[in-house]
Structure 1
Amino acid sequence: MASVDECRQALQELAARLDGNAEAVREHVGLDRTLACRITDLGAAFHGRLTDGQLVDLADGDDPKAKIALNTTSDDLLALVRGELDITRAVTSRRVSIKANPLDLMRLRKLL
């Protein structure tokens, strides 16, 4: 099981990666949505905003009103960010759940 700090670091790495490709991401994924990432095995959560191809305002804690919510375990989060776990397989096997409206899910597929 990964630690809360490792999960936070993984999300910060993802944010940095998106920031480095913000223009390309923005071109494919035109979202401006609040985002919550809930780590089920740690009872921890993080929240931020996906906007202009970037993940910004990343902070500890849940956002129950987030428009996009990702639920996963700590190890699966790290594997997703490292590219070791395919998001489609993770969702279909129920290792990861993503709650969002259907149009946002279609846009997110381009990002993930």
Structure 2
Amino acid sequence: MATVDDCRKALHDLAARLQANAEARGKLDLDRTLACRVTDLGTAFHGRIAGGLLLDITDGDDPKAKIALVTTSDDLLKLVAGELDVTRALASRQIAIKANPFDLLKLRKLL
């Protein structure tokens, strides 16, 4: 099982990777709050997706977040590292993403 610090670092790594790739993929018209709930650690993080970037990552849950990712710590690390395919993980219920369908389509471009 990964630690809270490992999960925090993974989210910051994801934010850095998205920023590095922002110019190549073009601007993404998505501005939503995001919560990442790590079930096995009983913790959460929240931030904001704006223009294809992951911004303002902080500890704690945001119950009003428009997009919520629910997963275990190990699956979060695998997902960020590219070792876990998002579509397969959703289909096998390793992860859950709660968002409206239009936001899910836009999120696919990020992941």
Q: TM-score, normalised by structure 1?
A: 0.95
* Conserved 8 A contact 2:14-2:80: yes
| Superposed CA offset, 1:16-74 (max 9, x none) | 001111233443x3200000000000000000000011100000000000000000000
Deviant stretches of 4+, over 2 Å: 23-27
Written as runs of structure 1 = structure 2, the 5 A alignment for 1:71-90 is 71-90=70-89
- In 2, the alpha carbon distance for the partners of 1:52 and 1:26 equals 9
Unaligned runs of at least 5 residues, structure 1: none
- Gaps spanning 5+ residues in structure 2: where? none
Asked if residue 38 in structure 1 is aligned to residue 37 in structure 2, the reply is: yes
Report what 2:108 is aligned to. Answer: 109
Give the distance between the partners of 1:87 and 1:63, measured in 2 at CA.
22
Per-residue deviation at 1:109?
1.4
Q: Does 1:7 align with 2:7?
A: yes
Work out whether residues 48 and 58 of structure 1, in 8 Å CA contact, stay in contact via their aligned partners in 2.
yes
Cα drift, residue 110 of structure 1: 1.7
Aligned residues, how many? 111
- Whether the 8 Å contact between 1:18 and 1:54 is mirrored in structure 2 is yes
| TM-score between both structures, scaled by the size of structure 2 | 0.96
| Number of the residue aligned with 2:17 | 17
